[in-house]
Amino acid sequence: MASDGVITHRHVDVNGVRLHVAEAGPAGAPVVLLLHGFPQLWYTWRHQMPALAAAGYRAVAPDMLGYGDSDAPSGGPDQYTALHVVGDLVALIDSLGEKQVFVVAHDWGALIAWSLCLFRPDRVKALVALSVAFNPRNPAVKPVDGFRALYGDDYYVCRFQPGAAEAEFRRLGIESVLRKFFVYRTPDEEVPLPSWITEEDFKYYTTQFDKSGFTGGLNYYRALNKTWDLTSPWTGAKITVPTKFIVGDLDLTYNTAGAQDFINKGGFKKFVPLLDDVVIMKDVAHFINEEKPKEISAHIINFINKFN
Protein backbone atom coordinates (compact mmCIF):
# COMPACT_ATOMS: atom_id res chain seq x y z
CA MET A 1 0.00 0.00 0.00
CA ALA A 2 1.52 3.29 -1.14
CA SER A 3 1.10 6.77 0.30
CA ASP A 4 1.19 8.50 -3.08
CA GLY A 5 -2.27 7.43 -4.17
CA VAL A 6 -1.18 4.29 -6.00
CA ILE A 7 -3.93 1.68 -5.65
CA THR A 8 -2.88 -1.79 -4.53
CA HIS A 9 -4.91 -5.00 -4.31
CA ARG A 10 -5.13 -8.01 -2.02
CA HIS A 11 -7.58 -10.60 -0.76
CA VAL A 12 -8.74 -10.79 2.85
CA ASP A 13 -10.43 -13.77 4.52
CA VAL A 14 -13.22 -12.45 6.74
CA ASN A 15 -16.32 -13.98 8.31
CA GLY A 16 -15.98 -17.17 6.26
CA VAL A 17 -15.62 -15.45 2.87
CA ARG A 18 -12.77 -13.96 0.85
CA LEU A 19 -13.07 -10.31 -0.19
CA HIS A 20 -11.01 -8.54 -2.81
CA VAL A 21 -9.85 -5.20 -1.40
CA ALA A 22 -8.31 -2.20 -3.15
CA GLU A 23 -6.29 0.21 -1.00
CA ALA A 24 -4.50 3.53 -1.26
CA GLY A 25 -2.82 5.73 1.33
CA PRO A 26 -0.33 5.40 4.18
CA ALA A 27 -0.44 2.53 6.65
CA GLY A 28 -1.48 3.75 10.07
CA ALA A 29 -3.58 6.60 8.67
CA PRO A 30 -7.28 6.91 9.53
CA VAL A 31 -9.23 4.40 7.45
CA VAL A 32 -12.01 5.39 5.06
CA LEU A 33 -14.09 2.35 4.09
CA LEU A 34 -15.68 2.83 0.65
CA LEU A 35 -18.77 0.75 -0.18
CA HIS A 36 -20.06 0.51 -3.75
CA GLY A 37 -23.51 -0.24 -5.09
CA PHE A 38 -25.16 -2.07 -8.00
CA PRO A 39 -23.93 -2.75 -10.64
CA GLN A 40 -20.52 -1.52 -9.63
CA LEU A 41 -17.23 -2.56 -8.05
CA TRP A 42 -14.42 -1.11 -5.94
CA TYR A 43 -13.58 0.71 -9.20
CA THR A 44 -16.37 3.23 -8.68
CA TRP A 45 -14.05 4.87 -6.10
CA ARG A 46 -11.05 5.17 -8.46
CA HIS A 47 -11.21 8.99 -8.27
CA GLN A 48 -11.78 9.28 -4.52
CA MET A 49 -9.04 6.87 -3.44
CA PRO A 50 -6.04 8.94 -4.61
CA ALA A 51 -7.70 12.11 -3.28
CA LEU A 52 -8.18 10.52 0.14
CA ALA A 53 -4.60 9.22 0.15
CA ALA A 54 -3.30 12.70 -0.71
CA ALA A 55 -5.33 14.08 2.20
CA GLY A 56 -3.65 11.67 4.63
CA TYR A 57 -6.24 8.88 4.77
CA ARG A 58 -6.08 5.16 4.06
CA ALA A 59 -8.80 4.39 1.51
CA VAL A 60 -10.08 0.79 1.60
CA ALA A 61 -12.55 -0.25 -1.10
CA PRO A 62 -13.73 -3.87 -1.20
CA ASP A 63 -15.57 -5.56 -3.98
CA MET A 64 -18.73 -6.23 -1.98
CA LEU A 65 -19.85 -9.79 -1.34
CA GLY A 66 -20.95 -11.33 -4.64
CA TYR A 67 -19.13 -8.82 -6.83
CA GLY A 68 -15.95 -8.80 -8.90
CA ASP A 69 -13.10 -10.77 -7.38
CA SER A 70 -14.80 -11.27 -4.00
CA ASP A 71 -16.53 -14.52 -3.09
CA ALA A 72 -20.12 -15.02 -4.21
CA PRO A 73 -21.80 -17.53 -1.86
CA SER A 74 -23.96 -19.86 -3.92
CA GLY A 75 -26.47 -20.81 -1.24
CA GLY A 76 -29.07 -18.30 -2.43
CA PRO A 77 -30.26 -14.84 -1.42
CA ASP A 78 -30.51 -15.66 2.29
CA GLN A 79 -26.70 -15.44 2.43
CA TYR A 80 -26.86 -11.79 1.32
CA THR A 81 -28.95 -10.22 4.07
CA ALA A 82 -27.79 -6.97 5.62
CA LEU A 83 -26.70 -8.92 8.70
CA HIS A 84 -24.44 -11.17 6.62
CA VAL A 85 -22.86 -8.31 4.69
CA VAL A 86 -22.43 -6.10 7.77
CA GLY A 87 -20.80 -9.09 9.48
CA ASP A 88 -18.29 -9.24 6.63
CA LEU A 89 -17.54 -5.53 7.00
CA VAL A 90 -17.09 -5.70 10.77
CA ALA A 91 -14.64 -8.57 10.23
CA LEU A 92 -12.88 -6.52 7.54
CA ILE A 93 -12.54 -3.59 9.95
CA ASP A 94 -11.11 -6.00 12.53
CA SER A 95 -8.61 -7.32 9.96
CA LEU A 96 -7.41 -3.76 9.37
CA GLY A 97 -6.63 -3.44 13.06
CA GLU A 98 -9.13 -0.61 13.49
CA LYS A 99 -11.68 0.02 16.22
CA GLN A 100 -13.47 2.68 14.17
CA VAL A 101 -13.44 3.78 10.54
CA PHE A 102 -15.00 6.47 8.41
CA VAL A 103 -17.52 5.08 5.93
CA VAL A 104 -18.39 6.48 2.51
CA ALA A 105 -21.07 4.61 0.60
CA HIS A 106 -23.18 4.81 -2.54
CA ASP A 107 -26.42 3.14 -3.68
CA TRP A 108 -26.63 -0.41 -2.23
CA GLY A 109 -23.41 0.36 -0.41
CA ALA A 110 -25.29 3.16 1.33
CA LEU A 111 -28.09 0.77 2.33
CA ILE A 112 -25.49 -1.55 3.84
CA ALA A 113 -23.73 1.41 5.50
CA TRP A 114 -26.98 2.50 7.16
CA SER A 115 -27.31 -1.05 8.50
CA LEU A 116 -23.71 -1.02 9.70
CA CYS A 117 -24.41 2.22 11.57
CA LEU A 118 -27.63 0.76 12.97
CA PHE A 119 -26.13 -2.55 14.14
CA ARG A 120 -22.61 -1.41 15.11
CA PRO A 121 -22.43 2.38 15.53
CA ASP A 122 -19.39 1.85 17.75
CA ARG A 123 -17.34 0.92 14.65
CA VAL A 124 -18.14 4.04 12.57
CA LYS A 125 -16.63 7.49 13.27
CA ALA A 126 -18.76 9.24 10.65
CA LEU A 127 -20.70 8.42 7.48
CA VAL A 128 -20.96 10.06 4.08
CA ALA A 129 -23.94 8.50 2.29
CA LEU A 130 -24.45 9.10 -1.41
CA SER A 131 -27.74 8.84 -3.32
CA VAL A 132 -29.71 6.60 -0.94
CA ALA A 133 -31.12 8.03 2.29
CA PHE A 134 -31.88 6.04 5.42
CA ASN A 135 -35.12 4.11 5.03
CA PRO A 136 -36.69 3.31 8.41
CA ARG A 137 -38.10 -0.20 8.74
CA ASN A 138 -41.86 -0.26 8.18
CA PRO A 139 -43.20 -2.96 10.50
CA ALA A 140 -46.43 -3.25 8.52
CA VAL A 141 -45.10 -3.97 5.02
CA LYS A 142 -42.23 -6.04 3.66
CA PRO A 143 -40.07 -3.95 1.29
CA VAL A 144 -40.60 -5.92 -1.92
CA ASP A 145 -44.33 -6.19 -1.20
CA GLY A 146 -44.46 -2.44 -0.69
CA PHE A 147 -42.67 -1.71 -3.97
CA ARG A 148 -45.00 -4.09 -5.80
CA ALA A 149 -48.09 -2.42 -4.33
CA LEU A 150 -46.82 1.06 -5.24
CA TYR A 151 -45.25 0.47 -8.64
CA GLY A 152 -46.40 -2.93 -9.93
CA ASP A 153 -44.58 -6.06 -11.01
CA ASP A 154 -42.52 -4.24 -13.64
CA TYR A 155 -40.69 -2.10 -11.05
CA TYR A 156 -37.01 -3.03 -11.18
CA VAL A 157 -36.83 -4.27 -7.56
CA CYS A 158 -39.71 -6.64 -8.31
CA ARG A 159 -38.22 -7.76 -11.62
CA PHE A 160 -34.94 -8.51 -9.86
CA GLN A 161 -36.60 -11.08 -7.58
CA PRO A 162 -35.85 -14.76 -8.39
CA GLY A 163 -37.05 -15.49 -11.89
CA ALA A 164 -36.09 -14.20 -15.29
CA ALA A 165 -33.59 -11.40 -14.59
CA GLU A 166 -30.42 -13.37 -15.35
CA ALA A 167 -31.91 -14.86 -18.52
CA GLU A 168 -32.93 -11.40 -19.68
CA PHE A 169 -29.46 -10.02 -18.94
CA ARG A 170 -27.88 -12.89 -20.89
CA ARG A 171 -30.16 -12.18 -23.82
CA LEU A 172 -29.22 -8.51 -23.85
CA GLY A 173 -25.51 -9.12 -23.18
CA ILE A 174 -23.29 -7.80 -20.37
CA GLU A 175 -22.20 -4.72 -22.29
CA SER A 176 -25.73 -3.65 -23.21
CA VAL A 177 -27.00 -4.20 -19.67
CA LEU A 178 -24.25 -2.10 -18.12
CA ARG A 179 -24.75 0.71 -20.64
CA LYS A 180 -28.42 0.82 -19.73
CA PHE A 181 -27.71 0.93 -16.01
CA PHE A 182 -25.14 3.71 -16.29
CA VAL A 183 -27.64 5.95 -18.11
CA TYR A 184 -30.77 4.44 -16.66
CA ARG A 185 -32.88 7.54 -17.08
CA THR A 186 -32.44 7.19 -20.88
CA PRO A 187 -34.91 4.72 -22.46
CA ASP A 188 -33.26 4.40 -25.90
CA GLU A 189 -32.00 1.01 -27.05
CA GLU A 190 -28.72 2.41 -28.39
CA VAL A 191 -27.18 4.00 -25.33
CA PRO A 192 -24.02 6.10 -25.65
CA LEU A 193 -21.57 6.10 -22.78
CA PRO A 194 -22.04 9.08 -20.48
CA SER A 195 -19.27 11.66 -20.40
CA TRP A 196 -18.05 10.59 -16.97
CA ILE A 197 -17.01 7.08 -18.00
CA THR A 198 -14.32 6.24 -20.55
CA GLU A 199 -14.21 3.22 -22.83
CA GLU A 200 -11.37 1.91 -20.66
CA ASP A 201 -13.50 2.28 -17.51
CA PHE A 202 -16.42 0.59 -19.20
CA LYS A 203 -14.22 -2.27 -20.40
CA TYR A 204 -13.11 -2.92 -16.81
CA TYR A 205 -16.71 -3.13 -15.60
CA THR A 206 -17.73 -5.32 -18.55
CA THR A 207 -14.80 -7.72 -18.10
CA GLN A 208 -15.50 -8.15 -14.38
CA PHE A 209 -19.25 -8.72 -14.77
CA ASP A 210 -18.60 -11.02 -17.70
CA LYS A 211 -16.64 -13.21 -15.26
CA SER A 212 -18.91 -12.95 -12.24
CA GLY A 213 -22.37 -12.41 -13.71
CA PHE A 214 -25.03 -10.39 -11.90
CA THR A 215 -26.50 -12.98 -9.51
CA GLY A 216 -24.43 -11.85 -6.51
CA GLY A 217 -25.56 -8.24 -6.92
CA LEU A 218 -29.17 -9.25 -7.59
CA ASN A 219 -29.19 -11.30 -4.39
CA TYR A 220 -29.05 -8.09 -2.35
CA TYR A 221 -32.47 -7.19 -3.79
CA ARG A 222 -33.69 -10.75 -3.28
CA ALA A 223 -32.66 -10.66 0.39
CA LEU A 224 -34.63 -7.47 1.14
CA ASN A 225 -37.61 -9.27 2.64
CA LYS A 226 -35.38 -11.67 4.61
CA THR A 227 -33.46 -8.69 6.04
CA TRP A 228 -36.83 -7.17 6.99
CA ASP A 229 -37.73 -10.42 8.80
CA LEU A 230 -34.49 -10.41 10.76
CA THR A 231 -34.36 -6.75 11.75
CA SER A 232 -37.57 -6.32 13.71
CA PRO A 233 -35.55 -5.51 16.87
CA TRP A 234 -34.38 -2.31 15.16
CA THR A 235 -37.85 -1.02 14.28
CA GLY A 236 -37.90 2.66 15.21
CA ALA A 237 -34.18 2.74 15.98
CA LYS A 238 -32.20 5.83 15.02
CA ILE A 239 -28.84 6.25 13.34
CA THR A 240 -26.50 7.71 15.99
CA VAL A 241 -23.46 8.33 13.77
CA PRO A 242 -22.49 11.80 12.46
CA THR A 243 -23.65 11.84 8.85
CA LYS A 244 -23.48 13.84 5.65
CA PHE A 245 -25.85 13.01 2.79
CA ILE A 246 -25.34 13.94 -0.87
CA VAL A 247 -27.75 13.29 -3.75
CA GLY A 248 -28.20 14.53 -7.29
CA ASP A 249 -31.39 16.34 -8.19
CA LEU A 250 -31.75 14.13 -11.30
CA ASP A 251 -31.33 10.89 -9.36
CA LEU A 252 -34.40 8.66 -9.58
CA THR A 253 -33.96 7.84 -5.88
CA TYR A 254 -34.51 11.54 -5.10
CA ASN A 255 -37.54 11.70 -7.36
CA THR A 256 -39.48 8.69 -6.09
CA ALA A 257 -42.72 9.22 -4.19
CA GLY A 258 -42.18 11.02 -0.89
CA ALA A 259 -38.37 11.05 -1.03
CA GLN A 260 -37.87 14.81 -1.26
CA ASP A 261 -40.32 15.52 1.54
CA PHE A 262 -38.67 12.92 3.78
CA ILE A 263 -35.17 14.26 3.09
CA ASN A 264 -35.97 17.98 3.25
CA LYS A 265 -38.85 18.36 5.71
CA GLY A 266 -37.61 16.76 8.91
CA GLY A 267 -38.29 13.04 8.56
CA PHE A 268 -34.70 12.19 7.67
CA LYS A 269 -33.31 14.30 10.52
CA LYS A 270 -35.72 12.63 12.95
CA PHE A 271 -34.21 9.22 12.25
CA VAL A 272 -30.64 10.50 11.76
CA PRO A 273 -30.36 13.11 14.54
CA LEU A 274 -26.63 13.68 13.92
CA LEU A 275 -27.29 14.50 10.26
CA ASP A 276 -24.80 17.31 9.74
CA ASP A 277 -25.57 18.34 6.20
CA VAL A 278 -27.70 17.48 3.16
CA VAL A 279 -26.30 18.45 -0.23
CA ILE A 280 -28.54 18.40 -3.31
CA MET A 281 -26.25 18.63 -6.34
CA LYS A 282 -27.81 20.22 -9.42
CA ASP A 283 -27.87 18.50 -12.80
CA VAL A 284 -26.38 15.31 -11.38
CA ALA A 285 -27.91 11.84 -11.63
CA HIS A 286 -27.32 8.59 -9.78
CA PHE A 287 -23.63 7.71 -10.19
CA ILE A 288 -22.68 10.86 -8.36
CA ASN A 289 -19.15 9.95 -7.23
CA GLU A 290 -18.18 9.19 -10.82
CA GLU A 291 -20.13 12.04 -12.41
CA LYS A 292 -18.68 14.71 -10.10
CA PRO A 293 -15.51 13.11 -8.72
CA LYS A 294 -13.62 16.23 -7.62
CA GLU A 295 -16.66 17.75 -5.91
CA ILE A 296 -17.55 14.51 -4.11
CA SER A 297 -13.95 13.99 -2.98
CA ALA A 298 -13.89 17.51 -1.56
CA HIS A 299 -17.21 16.99 0.24
CA ILE A 300 -15.93 13.75 1.80
CA ILE A 301 -12.60 15.15 2.94
CA ASN A 302 -14.06 18.39 4.29
CA PHE A 303 -16.56 16.43 6.35
CA ILE A 304 -14.34 13.72 7.79
CA ASN A 305 -11.61 16.25 8.59
CA LYS A 306 -13.94 17.53 11.33
CA PHE A 307 -13.40 14.33 13.28
CA ASN A 308 -9.58 14.18 13.30
Give the domain ranges of the chain: 8-305
- Contacts of 208 by beta carbon, 8 Å cutoff, 6+ apart: 41, 43, 67, 68, 69
CA distances from 277 to 38, 84, 241, 246, 280 (A): 25, 30, 13, 8, 10
Task: State the pLDDT at residue 130.
Answer: 98
The one catalytic residue in 43, 57, 221, 254 is 221
Query: Is 63 among the catalytic positions?
Result: no
pTM tops 0.85, yes or no: yes
Q: Is 127 helix (H, G, I), strand (E, B) or coil?
A: strand
Fold that domain 8-305 belongs to in CATH? Rossmann fold (3.40.50)
The one catalytic residue in 63, 71, 107, 251 is 107
Asked whether the beta carbons of 8 and 22 are under 8 A apart, the reply is yes
- Local confidence pLDDT in tens for the 308 residues of the chain: 445 679 999 999 999 999 999 999 999 999 999 999 999 999 999 999 999 999 999 999 999 999 999 999 988 899 999 999 999 999 999 999 999 999 999 999 999 999 999 999 999 999 999 999 999 999 999 999 998 898 898 888 888 888 778 778 778 788 888 888 887 654 444 567 888 999 999 999 999 999 998 999 999 999 999 999 999 999 999 999 999 999 999 999 999 889 999 999 999 999 999 999 999 999 999 999 999 999 999 999 999 999 98
Task: State the pLDDT at residue 266.
Answer: 93
Q: How far apart (Å, rounded) are the C-alpha atoms in residues 300 and 307?
A: 12
Task: State the pLDDT at residue 190.
Answer: 55
Model pLDDT for residues 168-224, shown as the tens digit of each residue: 877 878 888 888 888 765 444 456 788 899 999 999 999 999 999 899 999 999 999
Query: Is 84 among the catalytic positions?
Result: no
Task: State the pLDDT at residue 204.
Answer: 94
Distance of CA 250 to the CA centre of its chain: 18
CB atoms within 10 A of CB 169: 20
Query: Is 107 among the catalytic positions?
Result: yes
Task: State the pLDDT at residue 237.
Answer: 97
- Per DSSP bridges, beta strands 101-106 and 31-35 are parallel
